Amino acid sequence: MIKIYKKGVHAILNIKVLSALMIYSLVLFSITLTTVYASSNDKQNKNSMVSGQELEKPKPVFTRNGGEISAKLIPRAKSTSVILNFKVTKGGKLLDVKGMDFEKAARPEVDIKNYKSALFVVQIGDVSPAGSDATVNISSDFFASGTEYRVFNEKLPKPWFNSECHNVASKGRVRELMITVKDGGPFDSDGQANGSITFVGGPRDSFWGYALGTLFIRFFGIFLVLSVLMIGMMLSGVVFSRMEAKKAEKESDAAANDDLDTTTDSITEEAVEETQFVEAEADSADTGSEETGLDADASIDTVEDYEIAAAITIAMHLYFESSKIPEYTEAPAYVKPPVSAGMQPAGAGQTAQTNTWSNDGRAQMMRDRLQAYSRGNR
Amino acid sequence: MSWSQVLELIQNILITQTGIPHVTWGQAVMLLIGLLFLYLAIGKEFEPLLLLPIGFGIFLVNFPLTPLMGFTEHGTPELIRVFYKYGVEWEVIPCVIFLGLGAMTDFGPLIANPKTLIIGAGAQLGVFVTYIGVLFFGFTLKEAASVGIIGGADGPTTIYLTAKLAPHLLGANALAAYSYMAMVPLIQPPIMRLMTTEAQRKIKMSQLRYVSPREKLLFPLIAITLIVLLIPAVAPLMGMFMFGNLMRESGVVKRLSDTAQNSLMNIVTIFLGLSVGATMQAEVFLNWKPLLIFGFGLLDFVICTFGGILTVHIMNLFLKDKMNPLIGSAGVSAVPMSARVSHVEGLKADPNNWLLMHAMGPNLAGVIGSAAAAGMFIAMFQ
């Protein structure tokens, strides 16, 4: 704990962290000050409160098609429009459907987020006999199996309640909500059994259920997508690796054959003119074994050659790069590695495996490779 | 004309045609904020390519009566409104920037080690945690998604998603994303050290395999096919990204590739920066939401870093050749800054541990991961 505490204090005392925190505190403080000022000024407050709820308020557009009225709207938390179809299937005639502002029905116990597709005022007439039931049918592919239809009647002590509608699947992905409304009953806002029903309410879906459910599905969806991509890349990697290996094998075979031909030619030149084809073949086999011996020697040389080549490469690289202004020295202080990282000319932090010269060379090459990715965080 | 009439005329001119009497406290504060970001860009070199035009945009539009972000009486958009409308609102500029980024990107380290794609997915944890977090503060689902994507550490993706879902938060979101991207070297190291032991930081990873030019050439085609089949909503961003990469790897359209990487990228960056800055007018910006966005943006970055490192720890349980968990923090797509941070932290633990190219894998995976997260959100609201 003490160690963590010390580390924390050390980090906080780090001047870069401190300066960054101060800058951001300044921004936040200035915004807070202005927010307080704005809150005290009604006019400015009205302008400043850009509310997402307000921007996402559904604005239904109604069209009538015979006995059916359709409401087209962009629900909250959606970017594309949906259509809700209203009709009265039994006991009356659909007169009109209107949208209603949620503010008029807002109550502390009701969360607007659960009502994604606005509230509707459904007018039903010709209910005969007066006081009897009418069946309202609302269908849409926007409804889910858990969608309820809540009724609002401000004349009741508890104005919001569940209509206990029948939620049934229809053709395609369409679901129908069937609600029985009694003239003069609790669902009828005019409260009178007069042959006319005013039915106010709206479809309700659980906001938090949707938000949390979709969260997990989509987070694991990203894993799924990238896993599929990973598998695709692994498979293609295997294919390409084999192709490259075959290609390399062919090239090495061709190179070996070339060497063999060259050696054979030279021996043939040195050989007596009357040498028979069979003898020449035998000679070539011997030459092959000699060649193997030469290869073994060459492999010993290659290790040293690699070392020399690497040293020359790094030396040349440093030489040529020294004529340029290295990006590294121009970079902001916070991207430069510390001396302890072994990338500075000083000898600190070095082990038997490393020295300043080689580390500088490697660091320089890494930086140059990294330039390919430099995008200024755009 | 009498003196009183002359005075009245002067008074009218001063009141109706000059800005001084119309300056509000909010505008004064925004002017200071604009200057602050200009200082950060010029004095501190924090993301100057973006923060300089954004800072100047903030500064410019917060003078009163300026005909920059409104509409004329005839409904014609004013200068910066034109940039905003056709560049940002029509979602053109973020996609063009992705084209340039694709042309700049060498996917070699990712192709050589495709397992790092999973780290790119794990590093999106903060995006979803923040999404839930801000919902508790009264944000709508669309606003929450646009704030959540800040942690993906991808500027164009943030702008693209915010312009689509919650354009009124564009300024705050873009500013938070770019500011924290500039602060990656400050934000990530403490979390990296907290989540790893000394021994884990010293893990050396084996040399990445050679990736042939043919493999690099086919990668954008394979990737776009798989991604767009699974998340069609991300096609504009990923399509442009992979198109840019195909131009680069094909080697036959060097001029186009160079233009996408340099001239085109620089031109759209100017318009993007100015437009984003210009959305931060006092009457829109100064309320409690930007405060929360800045707070949650930081939390978002922290959790994304945490998520990336945690993913490596989990993967190491199953892998024979262990990965250095420091490369997990590079799963946020601040390219190449977060890879460089992983590299530097690795060098601190062992001066012979060269993690840079290993960290580029998750770094590039982060770009794809954050775009995939954006696609998921867009699909969610369709």
For position B55, which CATH number holds?
1.20.1530
Does residue A89 sit in the same domain as residue A190? yes
Is B63 exposed, middle or buried, given 0-12, 13-18 or 19+ CB atoms closer than 10 A?
Answer: middle
pLDDT, one tens digit per residue, over A80-112 is: 899 999 999 988 899 999 998 888 888 888 888
Determine the Cα–Cα distance for residues A101 and A97; give it in Å rounded to an integer.
13
Q: Does A245 touch chain B (CB under 8 A)?
A: no
A271 within a domain of the structure (yes/no)? no
Task: For residue A324, give how far its alpha carbon lies from the nearest alpha carbon of chain B (Å).
Answer: 21
Does residue A123 sit in the same domain as residue A197? yes
Does residue A64 sit in the same domain as residue A146? yes
Determine the Cα–Cα distance for residues B217 and B219; give it in Å rounded to an integer.
6
A327 pLDDT tier (thresholds 50, 70, 90): very low
DSSP sequence for B271-295: HHHHHHHHT--HHHH-SHHHHHHHH
Q: Give the torsion sign (CA, B223, B226, B230, B236).
A: positive
B4 within a domain of the structure (yes/no)? no
Cβ <8 Å between A230 and B183? no
Q: Is the pLDDT of residue A377 over 60?
A: no
A269 within a domain of the structure (yes/no)? no
Task: For residue A234, give how far its alpha carbon lies from the nearest alpha carbon of chain B (Å).
Answer: 6
Give the residue with greater pLDDT, A223 vs A29.
A223
User: Which range marks the domain in which residue B238 is found?
Assistant: 25-62+76-380
A354 within a domain of the structure (yes/no)? yes
Is B43 exposed, middle or buried, given 0-12, 13-18 or 19+ CB atoms closer than 10 A?
Answer: exposed
Q: Give the residue from A205, A220, A249 where a domain finishes.
A: A205
Q: Which residues of B touch A30 (CB under 8 A)?
A: 29, 32-33
Other beta carbons less than 10 A from residue A270's beta carbon: 8
Provide the residue type at A371 as one letter: Q
Q: Which residues of B touch A251 (CB under 8 A)?
A: none
pLDDT, one tens digit per residue, over A12-69 is: 445 454 455 455 555 555 554 554 444 444 444 343 345 677 788 888 999 999 889 9
Task: For residue B10, give how far its alpha carbon lies from the nearest alpha carbon of chain A (Å).
Answer: 28
**B208 three-class SS:** coil
Length of chain A: 378
Does residue A42 sit in the same domain as residue A181? no
Does residue A37 sit in the same domain as residue A73? no
Determine the Cα–Cα distance for residues B340 and B334; give it in Å rounded to an integer.
10
A305 within a domain of the structure (yes/no)? no
A349 pLDDT tier (thresholds 50, 70, 90): very low
Q: Which of residues 201-230 of A touch B (CB under 8 A)?
A: 211-212, 214-215, 218-219, 221-230
Q: Domain total for chain B?
A: 1
pLDDT, one tens digit per residue, over A111-160 is: 888 888 889 999 999 988 888 999 999 999 999 988 999 999 988 888 89
ipTM metric: 0.89
Cβ <8 Å between A80 and B382? yes
Is B279 exposed, middle or buried, given 0-12, 13-18 or 19+ CB atoms closer than 10 A?
Answer: buried
Q: Which residues of B touch A209 (CB under 8 A)?
A: none
User: Which range marks the domain in which residue A342 is found?
Assistant: 325-378
Does residue A149 sit in the same domain as residue A42? no
Strand pairing partners for A73? A82
| B48 → chain A, closest CA residue | A376
Q: Which residues of B touch A351 (CB under 8 A)?
A: 351-352
A233 within a domain of the structure (yes/no)? no
A218 within a domain of the structure (yes/no)? no
The reported pLDDT for the residue numbered B77 is: 92
Given a contact cutoff of 8 angstroms between Cβ atoms, the answer to whether A139 and A176 are in contact is yes
Nearest CB to B120; choose among A226, A372, A373: A226
Cβ <8 Å between B340 and A232? no
Task: For residue B14, give how far its alpha carbon lies from the nearest alpha carbon of chain A (Å).
Answer: 23
Q: Give the residue from A172, A205, A238 where a domain finishes.
A: A205
Q: How much is the CA Rg of chain B, to the nearest whole Å?
A: 23
Q: Give the residue from A173, A205, A237 where a domain finishes.
A: A205
Q: A interface mutation test: which of B186, B204, B285 has the most A CBs within 10 A?
A: B186
Query: In angstroms, how far is the first alpha carbon of chain A from the final one?
Result: 40
Dihedral of CA atoms B201, B202, B206, B212 in degrees, nearest 10, equals: 50
* Element (DSSP H or E) covering residue A193: none
Q: Does B335 touch chain A (CB under 8 A)?
A: yes
Does residue A41 sit in the same domain as residue A120? no
Q: Domain total for chain A?
A: 3
Does residue A158 sit in the same domain as residue A73? yes
Residue among B117, B274, B256, B264 at smallest CA distance from A237: B117
Other beta carbons less than 10 A from residue B17's beta carbon: 8
A336 within a domain of the structure (yes/no)? yes
Does residue A27 sit in the same domain as residue A154? no
B230 within a domain of the structure (yes/no)? yes
Q: In a structure prediction context, what are the per-residue pLDDT tens digits for chain B, which is 382 residues long?
A: 788 889 988 888 888 888 888 899 999 999 999 999 999 999 988 888 888 999 999 999 999 999 999 998 888 999 999 999 999 989 899 999 999 999 999 999 999 999 999 999 999 999 999 999 999 888 988 999 999 999 887 889 999 999 999 998 998 998 899 888 888 988 999 999 999 999 999 999 988 888 999 999 999 999 999 999 999 999 999 999 999 999 999 999 999 999 999 999 999 999 999 999 999 999 888 888 888 999 999 999 999 999 999 999 999 999 999 999 999 999 998 888 899 999 999 999 998 888 999 999 999 999 999 999 999 999 888 7
User: Could you tell me which residues come within 8 angstroms of residue B322 by beta carbon, excluding any fewer than 6 positions away?
Assistant: B203, B316
B14 within a domain of the structure (yes/no)? no
B252 within a domain of the structure (yes/no)? yes
Q: Does A262 touch chain B (CB under 8 A)?
A: no
Does residue A21 sit in the same domain as residue A73? no
The reported pLDDT for the residue numbered B34 is: 94
pLDDT, one tens digit per residue, over A251-294 is: 888 888 877 676 666 655 655 454 444 444 444 444 444 333 33
Does residue A35 sit in the same domain as residue A67? no
Determine the Cα–Cα distance for residues A132 and A125; give it in Å rounded to an integer.
12
A229 within a domain of the structure (yes/no)? no
Q: Determine if residue B236 is left, alpha or beta; phi over 0 gives left, psi from -120 to 50 gives alpha, anything else beta.
A: alpha
Other beta carbons less than 10 A from residue A296's beta carbon: 9
- Which pairs count as long-range contacts for A12-18, CB under 8 Å and 24+ apart, including other chains? A16/A333, A16/A334, A16/B186, A17/B186
Does residue A77 sit in the same domain as residue A39? no
Q: Give the torsion sign (CA, A35, A36, A39, A45).
A: negative
Q: Which residues of B touch A37 (CB under 8 A)?
A: 25-26
The reported pLDDT for the residue numbered B230 is: 93
